[in-house]
Structure 1
């Protein structure tokens, strides 16, 4: 993605692989989550309400904060990386790689779904896939190194939206074993 030089891509993938190894060493499992704003944020939708990409990103941030508070209140440990990327209409969506303990997977999945349920009742805004060991590098490489958006357009989009492409979070984000 934008400005993701080969070196930066390798650095991010390297950190993710170390996080994955650390997570597996303590018995965590991986999830790949895609979160999209509801159709009202998408200019190509008949239900588009005139929202800007910044408003869509604010929606994603508010959703993530609410879901994270619920997960934290349940004393669930999780860690991972969020990756922002534009839809073809410029509306941001997120890909999130999460590691957590197996007993927490259903709680995380239901927390995310329930948090979105009021604005996206048919679950089109959320997909959650369980990762097999080693899948992290494949998913990260796919989303960091390829996009359908030409790089100059993507650079302009990220600059104008003031969106961070990659954000690490959780208990393993600051350290890697």
Structure 2
């Protein structure tokens, strides 16, 4: 069961990270397009600003699970280094429960916010609902929860192991 979940978690975290990389490529490409249209062609494309902003939001929420998986988001390094192995495991559970509680709040209110914002349209892209921008919070939160549980089951602390 543990092995199956960890395989699922690796795939989910990898997919989220690929999505984050794709959003970075989209934001950079649209930024270059905007520079060319604004300063070379002198015909600015207003819609690119909106898409850049929302692709960066999606990038952040899709990259967070990878940071959680590596144990880099919630860090109690000093306490962890000074503690015996049993206390370290308790710290792992305390940090995981606190992080899952926070992610639960983000998913809950993020979904509510996305539904409420669904009646709005994006400025510059009137045919696209704001739901697609706001839903990044619950989607990223679900991927983050998977990464947190994966880190609890199979902790990765490369920065701590190389520093000792």
Normalising by structure 1, what TM-score?
A: 0.28
More helix by share: 2
Larger Rg belongs to: 2
Which structure carries more relative contact order (alpha carbon 8 Å, separation 6+)? 1
